[in-house]
Amino acid sequence: MEENTAQIPQEKEPSKCVSKKAMETENAKDEEKMSESKHEDEQKTKEIAVVEERKVADKEENDTSPSGIQKSSSFREESNLLSDLKEHEKKALSELRSKIEEAILKNELFQEKKQQEKEISSTKDGEEKVQKEKSTGTDKKEDDSEKKEQPKQVEGEREGATPSNEGKEEETPAKTNTEEKEIAAKESKEDITDKQVEKEEQTSEKEEEEEAKENAQQEGVADQTVDKDISLWGVPLLPSKGDDRTDTVLLKLLRAREFKTTDAFEMLRNILKWRKENKIDSILEADIEANLGSMAYMQGNDRDGHPICFNIFAVFGNDELYGKAFEEKRVKFMRGRIQLMEKGIQKLDFKPGGASAILQINDLKNTPLPTKKELRNATKKGVELLQDNYPEFVAKNIFINVPFWYYAYSALFSPSLSQRTKNKFVYARSAKVTDTLLKYIAASQIPVQYGGLKRENDSEFSVEDDAKEAIVKAGSQETIEIPAPEAGNTLIWDLTVSGWEVNYKEEFVPTDEGSYTIIVQKGRRITWQDGTVRNSFTNKEPGKVVITIENGAFKKKRILYRYKTRTSSSS
Protein backbone atom coordinates (compact mmCIF):
# COMPACT_ATOMS: atom_id res chain seq x y z
CA MET A 1 0.00 0.00 0.00
CA GLU A 2 2.83 2.31 0.81
CA GLU A 3 4.46 1.65 -2.59
CA ASN A 4 1.20 2.40 -4.36
CA THR A 5 0.71 5.60 -2.46
CA ALA A 6 4.26 6.58 -3.23
CA GLN A 7 3.84 5.84 -6.91
CA ILE A 8 0.67 7.85 -7.30
CA PRO A 9 2.30 11.25 -6.79
CA GLN A 10 5.14 10.24 -9.09
CA GLU A 11 2.64 9.42 -11.81
CA LYS A 12 0.58 12.57 -11.32
CA GLU A 13 3.46 15.03 -11.06
CA PRO A 14 4.58 14.70 -14.69
CA SER A 15 0.98 15.17 -15.85
CA LYS A 16 0.74 18.38 -13.81
CA CYS A 17 3.97 19.66 -15.30
CA VAL A 18 2.80 18.84 -18.79
CA SER A 19 -0.56 20.58 -18.30
CA LYS A 20 1.13 23.62 -16.79
CA LYS A 21 3.55 23.84 -19.69
CA ALA A 22 0.70 23.38 -22.12
CA MET A 23 -1.25 26.17 -20.46
CA GLU A 24 1.77 28.45 -20.53
CA THR A 25 2.27 27.63 -24.20
CA GLU A 26 -1.40 28.33 -24.97
CA ASN A 27 -1.30 31.61 -23.02
CA ALA A 28 1.83 32.61 -24.87
CA LYS A 29 0.10 31.79 -28.17
CA ASP A 30 -2.98 33.80 -27.15
CA GLU A 31 -0.84 36.76 -26.16
CA GLU A 32 1.03 36.48 -29.43
CA LYS A 33 -2.25 36.40 -31.37
CA MET A 34 -3.58 39.40 -29.45
CA SER A 35 -0.39 41.35 -30.05
CA GLU A 36 -0.51 40.38 -33.74
CA SER A 37 -4.15 41.47 -34.07
CA LYS A 38 -3.36 44.68 -32.20
CA HIS A 39 -0.40 45.26 -34.47
CA GLU A 40 -2.62 44.61 -37.51
CA ASP A 41 -5.20 47.13 -36.24
CA GLU A 42 -2.49 49.70 -35.64
CA GLN A 43 -1.07 48.97 -39.09
CA LYS A 44 -4.51 49.42 -40.68
CA THR A 45 -4.96 52.69 -38.80
CA LYS A 46 -1.56 53.85 -39.99
CA GLU A 47 -2.39 52.87 -43.57
CA ILE A 48 -5.68 54.79 -43.42
CA ALA A 49 -3.91 57.79 -41.94
CA VAL A 50 -1.15 57.65 -44.58
CA VAL A 51 -3.75 57.46 -47.38
CA GLU A 52 -5.63 60.43 -45.92
CA GLU A 53 -2.39 62.40 -45.53
CA ARG A 54 -1.45 61.63 -49.14
CA LYS A 55 -4.85 62.83 -50.30
CA VAL A 56 -4.35 66.07 -48.38
CA ALA A 57 -0.82 66.47 -49.76
CA ASP A 58 -1.97 65.78 -53.34
CA LYS A 59 -4.79 68.28 -52.97
CA GLU A 60 -2.39 70.91 -51.63
CA GLU A 61 0.02 70.24 -54.51
CA ASN A 62 -2.76 70.50 -57.10
CA ASP A 63 -4.06 73.70 -55.54
CA THR A 64 -0.69 75.42 -55.96
CA SER A 65 -0.34 77.76 -58.90
CA PRO A 66 2.88 78.05 -60.97
CA SER A 67 3.84 81.17 -58.99
CA GLY A 68 3.61 79.24 -55.72
CA ILE A 69 0.53 81.09 -54.48
CA GLN A 70 -2.08 78.80 -52.96
CA LYS A 71 -5.45 78.85 -54.65
CA SER A 72 -8.62 79.35 -52.65
CA SER A 73 -11.19 79.22 -55.46
CA SER A 74 -12.82 76.14 -53.85
CA PHE A 75 -13.61 78.25 -50.83
CA ARG A 76 -16.49 80.18 -52.32
CA GLU A 77 -19.61 80.35 -50.23
CA GLU A 78 -22.66 78.93 -52.01
CA SER A 79 -24.35 81.69 -53.96
CA ASN A 80 -27.54 83.28 -52.64
CA LEU A 81 -28.33 85.00 -55.94
CA LEU A 82 -31.52 83.77 -57.62
CA SER A 83 -29.80 83.68 -61.00
CA ASP A 84 -27.26 81.15 -59.65
CA LEU A 85 -29.85 78.75 -58.20
CA LYS A 86 -30.98 75.58 -59.96
CA GLU A 87 -34.61 75.17 -61.01
CA HIS A 88 -35.58 72.82 -58.17
CA GLU A 89 -33.87 75.17 -55.70
CA LYS A 90 -35.83 78.15 -57.02
CA LYS A 91 -39.04 76.15 -56.74
CA ALA A 92 -38.30 75.12 -53.15
CA LEU A 93 -37.49 78.72 -52.20
CA SER A 94 -40.74 79.96 -53.73
CA GLU A 95 -42.75 77.31 -51.84
CA LEU A 96 -41.06 78.13 -48.54
CA ARG A 97 -41.74 81.84 -49.06
CA SER A 98 -45.45 81.12 -49.57
CA LYS A 99 -45.68 78.88 -46.49
CA ILE A 100 -43.98 81.44 -44.25
CA GLU A 101 -46.03 84.33 -45.67
CA GLU A 102 -49.29 82.46 -45.03
CA ALA A 103 -48.21 81.31 -41.55
CA ILE A 104 -47.24 84.82 -40.43
CA LEU A 105 -50.33 86.57 -41.83
CA LYS A 106 -52.64 83.95 -40.27
CA ASN A 107 -50.55 84.01 -37.08
CA GLU A 108 -50.04 80.24 -37.34
CA LEU A 109 -46.26 80.12 -37.12
CA PHE A 110 -46.58 78.75 -33.57
CA GLN A 111 -50.26 77.75 -33.59
CA GLU A 112 -49.78 74.14 -34.66
CA LYS A 113 -47.62 73.45 -31.64
CA LYS A 114 -50.12 75.18 -29.34
CA GLN A 115 -52.99 73.19 -30.83
CA GLN A 116 -51.16 69.91 -30.22
CA GLU A 117 -50.47 70.93 -26.62
CA LYS A 118 -54.17 71.79 -26.13
CA GLU A 119 -55.27 68.44 -27.54
CA ILE A 120 -52.87 66.61 -25.23
CA SER A 121 -54.04 68.57 -22.17
CA SER A 122 -57.73 68.13 -23.08
CA THR A 123 -57.17 64.39 -23.56
CA LYS A 124 -55.57 64.16 -20.13
CA ASP A 125 -58.45 66.12 -18.54
CA GLY A 126 -60.95 63.84 -20.24
CA GLU A 127 -59.21 60.73 -18.98
CA GLU A 128 -59.15 62.13 -15.43
CA LYS A 129 -62.88 62.90 -15.62
CA VAL A 130 -63.70 59.40 -16.87
CA GLN A 131 -61.67 57.86 -14.06
CA LYS A 132 -63.37 60.12 -11.50
CA GLU A 133 -66.84 59.26 -12.86
CA LYS A 134 -66.02 55.57 -12.82
CA SER A 135 -64.80 55.71 -9.23
CA THR A 136 -67.84 57.80 -8.16
CA GLY A 137 -70.21 55.43 -9.97
CA THR A 138 -68.68 52.39 -8.33
CA ASP A 139 -69.05 53.95 -4.88
CA LYS A 140 -72.68 54.77 -5.58
CA LYS A 141 -73.41 51.23 -6.76
CA GLU A 142 -71.88 49.80 -3.61
CA ASP A 143 -73.91 52.18 -1.45
CA ASP A 144 -77.13 51.30 -3.33
CA SER A 145 -76.49 47.59 -2.97
CA GLU A 146 -75.96 48.02 0.77
CA LYS A 147 -79.16 50.02 1.03
CA LYS A 148 -81.14 47.31 -0.79
CA GLU A 149 -79.72 44.44 1.24
CA GLN A 150 -80.39 46.05 4.62
CA PRO A 151 -84.25 46.29 4.30
CA LYS A 152 -84.37 42.70 3.06
CA GLN A 153 -82.53 41.56 6.11
CA VAL A 154 -85.03 43.39 8.38
CA GLU A 155 -87.97 41.88 6.55
CA GLY A 156 -86.35 38.48 6.77
CA GLU A 157 -86.01 38.91 10.50
CA ARG A 158 -89.71 39.77 10.74
CA GLU A 159 -90.77 36.83 8.60
CA GLY A 160 -88.44 34.53 10.48
CA ALA A 161 -90.23 35.15 13.85
CA THR A 162 -91.36 31.85 15.45
CA PRO A 163 -93.95 31.06 18.21
CA SER A 164 -91.02 30.48 20.52
CA ASN A 165 -90.17 34.17 20.12
CA GLU A 166 -93.58 35.42 20.97
CA GLY A 167 -92.36 36.78 24.25
CA LYS A 168 -89.81 38.95 22.46
CA GLU A 169 -92.17 40.37 19.87
CA GLU A 170 -92.28 43.69 21.64
CA GLU A 171 -88.49 44.06 21.52
CA THR A 172 -88.25 43.34 17.77
CA PRO A 173 -90.15 46.41 16.58
CA ALA A 174 -87.96 48.55 18.81
CA LYS A 175 -84.82 47.15 17.20
CA THR A 176 -86.15 47.61 13.69
CA ASN A 177 -87.06 51.20 14.40
CA THR A 178 -83.54 51.87 15.63
CA GLU A 179 -82.03 50.24 12.54
CA GLU A 180 -84.32 52.18 10.28
CA LYS A 181 -83.25 55.39 11.93
CA GLU A 182 -79.61 54.50 11.47
CA ILE A 183 -80.20 53.63 7.83
CA ALA A 184 -82.08 56.88 7.27
CA ALA A 185 -79.23 58.82 8.90
CA LYS A 186 -76.71 57.05 6.68
CA GLU A 187 -78.79 57.77 3.59
CA SER A 188 -79.08 61.42 4.49
CA LYS A 189 -75.30 61.63 5.03
CA GLU A 190 -74.69 59.91 1.70
CA ASP A 191 -77.12 62.28 -0.01
CA ILE A 192 -75.28 65.24 1.49
CA THR A 193 -71.92 63.79 0.35
CA ASP A 194 -73.26 63.16 -3.16
CA LYS A 195 -74.61 66.69 -3.32
CA GLN A 196 -71.28 68.09 -2.17
CA VAL A 197 -69.44 66.06 -4.85
CA GLU A 198 -71.91 67.27 -7.48
CA LYS A 199 -71.46 70.86 -6.34
CA GLU A 200 -67.68 70.53 -6.43
CA GLU A 201 -67.84 68.99 -9.91
CA GLN A 202 -70.14 71.77 -11.11
CA THR A 203 -67.85 74.41 -9.57
CA SER A 204 -64.75 72.90 -11.20
CA GLU A 205 -66.59 72.66 -14.53
CA LYS A 206 -67.63 76.32 -14.26
CA GLU A 207 -64.05 77.32 -13.42
CA GLU A 208 -62.76 75.34 -16.40
CA GLU A 209 -65.36 76.96 -18.66
CA GLU A 210 -64.40 80.42 -17.39
CA GLU A 211 -60.68 79.67 -17.94
CA ALA A 212 -61.44 78.35 -21.43
CA LYS A 213 -63.39 81.52 -22.21
CA GLU A 214 -60.56 83.71 -20.94
CA ASN A 215 -58.02 81.73 -22.97
CA ALA A 216 -60.23 81.92 -26.03
CA GLN A 217 -60.58 85.69 -25.58
CA GLN A 218 -56.81 86.05 -25.15
CA GLU A 219 -56.20 83.88 -28.20
CA GLY A 220 -58.76 85.89 -30.10
CA VAL A 221 -56.84 89.06 -29.28
CA ALA A 222 -53.58 87.32 -30.22
CA ASP A 223 -55.11 86.10 -33.47
CA GLN A 224 -56.11 89.63 -34.31
CA THR A 225 -52.56 90.93 -33.61
CA VAL A 226 -50.38 89.72 -36.48
CA ASP A 227 -46.65 90.21 -35.93
CA LYS A 228 -45.46 91.20 -39.38
CA ASP A 229 -42.11 92.33 -37.97
CA ILE A 230 -41.05 88.87 -36.81
CA SER A 231 -37.37 88.35 -37.60
CA LEU A 232 -34.52 85.89 -37.22
CA TRP A 233 -30.89 87.02 -36.67
CA GLY A 234 -32.05 90.56 -37.36
CA VAL A 235 -33.52 89.63 -40.76
CA PRO A 236 -37.29 90.02 -41.43
CA LEU A 237 -39.02 86.69 -42.15
CA LEU A 238 -42.09 88.07 -43.92
CA PRO A 239 -41.19 87.76 -47.64
CA SER A 240 -43.61 90.50 -48.74
CA LYS A 241 -41.50 93.06 -46.85
CA GLY A 242 -39.10 92.84 -49.81
CA ASP A 243 -35.86 92.59 -47.80
CA ASP A 244 -33.26 90.85 -50.00
CA ARG A 245 -31.64 89.31 -46.89
CA THR A 246 -34.74 87.15 -46.25
CA ASP A 247 -33.91 84.79 -49.10
CA THR A 248 -30.40 84.29 -47.69
CA VAL A 249 -31.85 83.07 -44.38
CA LEU A 250 -34.43 80.86 -46.10
CA LEU A 251 -31.74 79.31 -48.31
CA LYS A 252 -29.78 78.36 -45.19
CA LEU A 253 -32.80 76.43 -43.93
CA LEU A 254 -33.35 74.77 -47.30
CA ARG A 255 -29.72 73.74 -47.73
CA ALA A 256 -29.67 72.27 -44.23
CA ARG A 257 -32.70 70.13 -45.19
CA GLU A 258 -31.66 69.21 -48.75
CA PHE A 259 -34.22 71.66 -50.22
CA LYS A 260 -37.20 69.84 -48.69
CA THR A 261 -39.68 72.65 -48.09
CA THR A 262 -41.73 71.02 -45.32
CA ASP A 263 -38.60 70.03 -43.37
CA ALA A 264 -37.14 73.52 -43.75
CA PHE A 265 -40.40 75.10 -42.54
CA GLU A 266 -40.48 72.79 -39.50
CA MET A 267 -36.84 73.63 -38.80
CA LEU A 268 -37.71 77.34 -38.77
CA ARG A 269 -40.51 76.71 -36.27
CA ASN A 270 -38.21 74.72 -34.00
CA ILE A 271 -35.51 77.42 -34.13
CA LEU A 272 -37.98 80.17 -33.21
CA LYS A 273 -39.41 78.04 -30.38
CA TRP A 274 -35.91 77.23 -29.05
CA ARG A 275 -34.85 80.88 -29.17
CA LYS A 276 -37.98 81.98 -27.30
CA GLU A 277 -37.67 79.31 -24.60
CA ASN A 278 -33.95 80.02 -24.02
CA LYS A 279 -34.20 83.82 -24.41
CA ILE A 280 -31.54 83.86 -27.12
CA ASP A 281 -32.52 87.29 -28.45
CA SER A 282 -31.29 88.85 -25.17
CA ILE A 283 -28.22 86.62 -24.73
CA LEU A 284 -25.79 89.26 -26.05
CA GLU A 285 -26.40 91.39 -22.96
CA ALA A 286 -26.38 88.43 -20.55
CA ASP A 287 -23.58 87.97 -18.01
CA ILE A 288 -23.00 84.25 -18.39
CA GLU A 289 -19.76 84.01 -16.37
CA ALA A 290 -18.31 81.49 -18.81
CA ASN A 291 -14.64 82.19 -19.49
CA LEU A 292 -14.20 81.00 -23.08
CA GLY A 293 -10.98 82.92 -23.71
CA SER A 294 -8.87 79.77 -23.67
CA MET A 295 -11.48 77.64 -25.46
CA ALA A 296 -13.10 79.75 -28.16
CA TYR A 297 -12.84 83.31 -29.42
CA MET A 298 -13.63 85.47 -32.46
CA GLN A 299 -10.71 87.27 -34.06
CA GLY A 300 -10.30 88.90 -37.45
CA ASN A 301 -11.72 88.09 -40.89
CA ASP A 302 -10.64 85.90 -43.78
CA ARG A 303 -9.90 87.08 -47.31
CA ASP A 304 -13.62 87.04 -48.21
CA GLY A 305 -14.80 88.89 -45.10
CA HIS A 306 -16.00 85.91 -43.05
CA PRO A 307 -15.49 86.36 -39.29
CA ILE A 308 -12.97 83.84 -37.89
CA CYS A 309 -13.79 81.71 -34.86
CA PHE A 310 -10.93 79.85 -33.16
CA ASN A 311 -11.77 76.70 -31.16
CA ILE A 312 -9.02 75.28 -28.92
CA PHE A 313 -9.54 71.63 -27.95
CA ALA A 314 -6.44 71.13 -25.78
CA VAL A 315 -8.31 72.46 -22.73
CA PHE A 316 -10.54 69.39 -22.79
CA GLY A 317 -7.54 67.29 -21.80
CA ASN A 318 -7.68 68.87 -18.33
CA ASP A 319 -9.06 66.26 -15.90
CA GLU A 320 -10.43 69.00 -13.63
CA LEU A 321 -13.15 69.67 -16.19
CA TYR A 322 -14.69 66.24 -15.67
CA GLY A 323 -16.95 64.81 -12.98
CA LYS A 324 -19.39 67.12 -11.19
CA ALA A 325 -17.46 70.23 -12.15
CA PHE A 326 -17.66 69.28 -15.82
CA GLU A 327 -21.45 68.88 -15.76
CA GLU A 328 -21.86 72.24 -14.03
CA LYS A 329 -19.45 74.00 -16.37
CA ARG A 330 -20.85 72.34 -19.50
CA VAL A 331 -24.16 74.24 -19.33
CA LYS A 332 -22.41 77.58 -18.81
CA PHE A 333 -19.86 76.77 -21.48
CA MET A 334 -22.56 75.89 -24.01
CA ARG A 335 -24.50 79.06 -23.27
CA GLY A 336 -21.29 81.06 -23.57
CA ARG A 337 -20.58 79.33 -26.88
CA ILE A 338 -24.05 80.32 -28.14
CA GLN A 339 -23.38 83.91 -27.05
CA LEU A 340 -20.10 83.83 -29.00
CA MET A 341 -21.97 82.50 -32.04
CA GLU A 342 -24.52 85.33 -31.81
CA LYS A 343 -21.68 87.88 -31.62
CA GLY A 344 -20.19 86.41 -34.77
CA ILE A 345 -23.57 86.57 -36.54
CA GLN A 346 -23.77 90.28 -35.69
CA LYS A 347 -20.76 90.75 -38.01
CA LEU A 348 -22.37 88.97 -40.98
CA ASP A 349 -23.84 90.56 -44.08
CA PHE A 350 -26.88 88.57 -45.18
CA LYS A 351 -27.23 90.35 -48.50
CA PRO A 352 -26.81 88.17 -51.61
CA GLY A 353 -23.12 88.02 -52.43
CA GLY A 354 -22.09 89.07 -48.91
CA ALA A 355 -20.43 87.01 -46.17
CA SER A 356 -23.21 85.18 -44.35
CA ALA A 357 -21.20 82.44 -42.62
CA ILE A 358 -18.27 82.03 -40.21
CA LEU A 359 -14.86 80.46 -40.80
CA GLN A 360 -14.10 77.88 -38.10
CA ILE A 361 -10.51 77.04 -37.13
CA ASN A 362 -10.25 74.03 -34.83
CA ASP A 363 -6.88 73.60 -33.13
CA LEU A 364 -6.43 69.90 -32.26
CA LYS A 365 -2.99 70.26 -30.72
CA ASN A 366 -2.78 68.16 -27.52
CA THR A 367 -6.45 67.30 -27.89
CA PRO A 368 -7.46 64.26 -25.80
CA LEU A 369 -8.43 60.99 -27.43
CA PRO A 370 -12.21 60.55 -27.86
CA THR A 371 -12.29 57.90 -25.12
CA LYS A 372 -13.86 59.95 -22.32
CA LYS A 373 -17.60 59.40 -22.27
CA GLU A 374 -18.37 62.84 -20.80
CA LEU A 375 -16.40 64.59 -23.52
CA ARG A 376 -17.99 62.54 -26.32
CA ASN A 377 -21.52 63.17 -25.03
CA ALA A 378 -20.93 66.88 -24.45
CA THR A 379 -19.35 67.30 -27.87
CA LYS A 380 -22.20 65.42 -29.55
CA LYS A 381 -24.87 67.50 -27.78
CA GLY A 382 -23.05 70.73 -28.57
CA VAL A 383 -22.64 69.90 -32.25
CA GLU A 384 -26.29 68.83 -32.57
CA LEU A 385 -27.53 71.99 -30.86
CA LEU A 386 -25.50 74.25 -33.16
CA GLN A 387 -26.46 72.26 -36.26
CA ASP A 388 -30.18 72.37 -35.43
CA ASN A 389 -30.33 76.07 -34.54
CA TYR A 390 -27.58 77.62 -36.69
CA PRO A 391 -27.91 75.92 -40.09
CA GLU A 392 -25.25 76.55 -42.73
CA PHE A 393 -23.39 79.10 -40.63
CA VAL A 394 -19.97 77.51 -41.23
CA ALA A 395 -18.28 78.61 -44.43
CA LYS A 396 -15.27 76.33 -43.87
CA ASN A 397 -14.20 73.99 -41.05
CA ILE A 398 -10.39 73.99 -40.88
CA PHE A 399 -8.73 71.46 -38.55
CA ILE A 400 -5.10 72.32 -37.75
CA ASN A 401 -2.37 70.52 -35.80
CA VAL A 402 -4.23 67.34 -36.62
CA PRO A 403 -2.83 64.36 -34.66
CA PHE A 404 -1.92 61.11 -36.38
CA TRP A 405 -4.96 59.18 -35.13
CA TYR A 406 -7.47 61.85 -36.23
CA TYR A 407 -7.10 61.05 -39.94
CA ALA A 408 -8.24 57.48 -39.32
CA TYR A 409 -10.93 58.66 -36.90
CA SER A 410 -12.42 61.13 -39.40
CA ALA A 411 -12.15 58.61 -42.27
CA LEU A 412 -14.28 56.13 -40.32
CA PHE A 413 -17.07 58.63 -39.67
CA SER A 414 -16.98 60.58 -42.94
CA PRO A 415 -19.42 58.21 -44.75
CA SER A 416 -22.23 59.39 -42.44
CA LEU A 417 -21.72 63.03 -43.49
CA SER A 418 -23.31 64.71 -46.46
CA GLN A 419 -21.14 65.76 -49.38
CA ARG A 420 -21.92 69.43 -48.67
CA THR A 421 -20.56 69.03 -45.13
CA LYS A 422 -17.48 67.08 -46.23
CA ASN A 423 -16.62 69.76 -48.78
CA LYS A 424 -16.27 72.24 -45.92
CA PHE A 425 -13.64 70.20 -44.04
CA VAL A 426 -9.93 70.96 -44.38
CA TYR A 427 -7.17 69.12 -42.46
CA ALA A 428 -3.62 70.33 -41.83
CA ARG A 429 -0.73 68.66 -40.04
CA SER A 430 1.48 70.72 -37.73
CA ALA A 431 4.05 71.42 -40.46
CA LYS A 432 1.31 72.57 -42.88
CA VAL A 433 -0.66 74.91 -40.58
CA THR A 434 0.72 78.22 -41.91
CA ASP A 435 0.60 77.08 -45.53
CA THR A 436 -3.03 75.96 -45.16
CA LEU A 437 -4.28 79.05 -43.34
CA LEU A 438 -2.64 81.37 -45.87
CA LYS A 439 -4.94 79.92 -48.54
CA TYR A 440 -7.92 81.50 -46.76
CA ILE A 441 -6.58 84.21 -44.46
CA ALA A 442 -4.16 87.10 -45.01
CA ALA A 443 -0.88 86.80 -43.08
CA SER A 444 -1.70 89.96 -41.10
CA GLN A 445 -4.85 88.23 -39.76
CA ILE A 446 -3.21 84.92 -38.76
CA PRO A 447 -1.97 84.77 -35.14
CA VAL A 448 1.79 84.33 -34.68
CA GLN A 449 1.33 80.96 -32.95
CA TYR A 450 0.03 79.66 -36.29
CA GLY A 451 2.84 81.17 -38.36
CA GLY A 452 1.08 84.44 -39.15
CA LEU A 453 2.01 88.04 -38.39
CA LYS A 454 -0.76 89.02 -35.97
CA ARG A 455 0.32 89.70 -32.37
CA GLU A 456 -1.75 90.64 -29.35
CA ASN A 457 -1.65 94.36 -28.48
CA ASP A 458 0.84 95.03 -31.26
CA SER A 459 2.13 98.61 -31.09
CA GLU A 460 4.15 98.36 -34.31
CA PHE A 461 1.85 96.79 -36.93
CA SER A 462 -1.90 96.43 -37.43
CA VAL A 463 -4.05 94.14 -39.57
CA GLU A 464 -4.11 96.90 -42.21
CA ASP A 465 -0.33 96.47 -42.66
CA ASP A 466 -0.54 93.60 -45.09
CA ALA A 467 2.46 91.51 -46.09
CA LYS A 468 4.47 91.41 -49.30
CA GLU A 469 5.24 88.10 -50.94
CA ALA A 470 8.29 86.36 -52.35
CA ILE A 471 8.96 82.83 -53.61
CA VAL A 472 12.09 80.84 -52.86
CA LYS A 473 12.51 77.98 -55.30
CA ALA A 474 13.55 74.45 -54.35
CA GLY A 475 17.29 74.10 -53.76
CA SER A 476 17.94 77.85 -54.07
CA GLN A 477 18.02 81.01 -51.95
CA GLU A 478 16.17 84.31 -51.95
CA THR A 479 17.14 87.68 -50.49
CA ILE A 480 14.84 90.38 -49.15
CA GLU A 481 16.20 93.94 -48.89
CA ILE A 482 14.88 96.61 -46.52
CA PRO A 483 16.27 100.06 -47.48
CA ALA A 484 17.71 102.40 -44.84
CA PRO A 485 18.79 105.54 -46.80
CA GLU A 486 19.13 107.72 -43.72
CA ALA A 487 21.21 107.12 -40.61
CA GLY A 488 19.74 107.01 -37.12
CA ASN A 489 16.46 105.30 -38.03
CA THR A 490 15.08 102.05 -36.65
CA LEU A 491 13.97 99.34 -39.07
CA ILE A 492 11.33 96.85 -37.85
CA TRP A 493 10.29 93.77 -39.81
CA ASP A 494 8.03 90.70 -39.62
CA LEU A 495 8.62 87.57 -41.68
CA THR A 496 7.06 84.13 -42.03
CA VAL A 497 7.75 81.20 -44.37
CA SER A 498 5.11 78.64 -45.29
CA GLY A 499 6.36 75.24 -44.20
CA TRP A 500 9.60 76.70 -42.78
CA GLU A 501 12.56 74.25 -42.60
CA VAL A 502 14.89 76.86 -44.13
CA ASN A 503 18.29 78.41 -43.34
CA TYR A 504 17.94 82.04 -42.29
CA LYS A 505 20.26 84.99 -41.60
CA GLU A 506 20.08 88.82 -41.32
CA GLU A 507 22.79 91.39 -42.13
CA PHE A 508 23.16 95.17 -42.41
CA VAL A 509 25.10 96.15 -45.53
CA PRO A 510 26.31 99.79 -45.50
CA THR A 511 26.12 101.91 -48.65
CA ASP A 512 29.77 102.89 -48.17
CA GLU A 513 31.86 100.06 -49.59
CA GLY A 514 34.61 100.82 -47.14
CA SER A 515 32.37 100.03 -44.12
CA TYR A 516 31.95 96.60 -42.62
CA THR A 517 28.85 94.42 -42.95
CA ILE A 518 27.14 93.96 -39.58
CA ILE A 519 25.59 90.58 -38.66
CA VAL A 520 22.13 91.22 -37.20
CA GLN A 521 21.13 87.55 -36.93
CA LYS A 522 23.56 84.67 -37.35
CA GLY A 523 22.67 82.04 -39.87
CA ARG A 524 20.59 79.25 -38.36
CA ARG A 525 18.05 76.61 -39.24
CA ILE A 526 14.43 77.71 -38.64
CA THR A 527 11.64 75.13 -38.35
CA TRP A 528 7.87 75.54 -38.11
CA GLN A 529 8.12 75.32 -34.30
CA ASP A 530 10.11 78.58 -34.22
CA GLY A 531 7.22 80.57 -35.62
CA THR A 532 7.17 84.08 -37.01
CA VAL A 533 10.33 86.21 -37.00
CA ARG A 534 10.27 89.79 -35.74
CA ASN A 535 13.43 91.85 -35.39
CA SER A 536 14.66 95.43 -35.52
CA PHE A 537 17.89 97.32 -36.22
CA THR A 538 18.95 100.96 -35.76
CA ASN A 539 21.43 102.02 -38.42
CA LYS A 540 24.25 104.44 -37.74
CA GLU A 541 24.91 105.00 -41.44
CA PRO A 542 22.96 104.66 -44.71
CA GLY A 543 22.59 101.16 -46.07
CA LYS A 544 20.13 98.29 -46.13
CA VAL A 545 19.09 95.20 -44.17
CA VAL A 546 19.53 92.02 -46.23
CA ILE A 547 17.61 88.88 -45.20
CA THR A 548 18.80 85.65 -46.84
CA ILE A 549 16.58 82.56 -46.94
CA GLU A 550 17.99 79.29 -48.27
CA ASN A 551 15.57 76.53 -49.23
CA GLY A 552 17.09 73.04 -49.26
CA ALA A 553 13.74 71.28 -49.73
CA PHE A 554 12.36 69.82 -52.94
CA LYS A 555 9.39 72.20 -52.98
CA LYS A 556 9.21 75.93 -53.47
CA LYS A 557 8.30 78.00 -50.43
CA ARG A 558 6.36 81.14 -49.91
CA ILE A 559 7.78 84.08 -47.93
CA LEU A 560 5.51 86.74 -46.46
CA TYR A 561 7.06 89.82 -44.90
CA ARG A 562 6.41 93.42 -43.97
CA TYR A 563 8.56 96.23 -42.54
CA LYS A 564 8.43 99.82 -41.44
CA THR A 565 10.89 102.58 -40.62
CA ARG A 566 10.65 104.50 -37.38
CA THR A 567 12.56 107.76 -37.69
CA SER A 568 14.52 109.22 -34.80
CA SER A 569 12.16 112.23 -34.68
CA SER A 570 9.04 110.01 -34.35
CA SER A 571 10.65 107.91 -31.59
Q: Which residues contact 267 (CB under 8 A, 6 or more apart)?
A: 253, 256, 257, 388, 391
Task: Let me know the angle formed at the C-alpha of 74 by 73 and 76, rounded to the nearest 5 degrees.
Answer: 80
Q: Which residues contact 85 (CB under 8 A, 6 or more apart)?
A: 79, 93
Residue 99: Cβ within 10 Å count? 17
Dist CA 109 CA 103 (whole Å): 5
Alpha-carbon distances, residue 374 vs 323, 333, 406, 560 (angstroms)? 8, 14, 19, 42
Radius of gyration (C-alpha) of the chain in whole angstroms: 41
Task: Report the pLDDT value the prediction gives residue 376, as an integer from 0 to 100.
Answer: 72
Closest CA to 56 of 370, 501, 398: 398
CATH class entry, domain 73-84+265-441: alpha beta
Q: In the beta sheet, which residues pair with residue 311?
A: 296, 362
Percent of the chain with pLDDT over 70: 62
For residue 174, the one-letter residue type is A
Backbone angles phi, psi at 40, to 5 degrees: -65, -45
Q: How far is CA 32 from the centre of its chain?
A: 43
State whether residue 109 is helix, strand or coil. Answer: coil
Dist CA 293 CA 559 (whole Å): 31
| 102 pLDDT above the threshold of 50 | yes
For the question of whether the overall pTM of this predicted structure is more than 0.75, the answer is: no
| 122 pLDDT above the threshold of 60 | no
pLDDT tens-place string over residues 3-55: 443 443 444 444 444 455 555 556 555 555 555 554 555 555 455 544 554 55
The per-residue DSSP string of 454-517 comes to B-TT-SS--TTSPPEEEEE-TTEEEEEEEEE-STT-EEEEEEEETT--EEEEEEEEESSTTSPP
- Superfamily of structural domain 463-566: GOLD domain (2.60.120.680)
pLDDT tens-place string over residues 426-442: 999 988 999 899 999 99
Dist CA 545 CA 537 (whole Å): 8
Task: Report the pLDDT value the prediction gives residue 350, as an integer from 0 to 100.
Answer: 95
Task: Report the pLDDT value the prediction gives residue 290, as an integer from 0 to 100.
Answer: 63
Dist CA 80 CA 245 (whole Å): 9
Dist CA 343 CA 284 (whole Å): 7
pLDDT tens-place string over residues 221-271: 444 577 889 999 999 999 999 999 999 999 999 999 999 999 999 999 999
Which stretches of 324-474 are DSSP H helices? 324-346, 373-389, 404-413, 419-422, 433-437
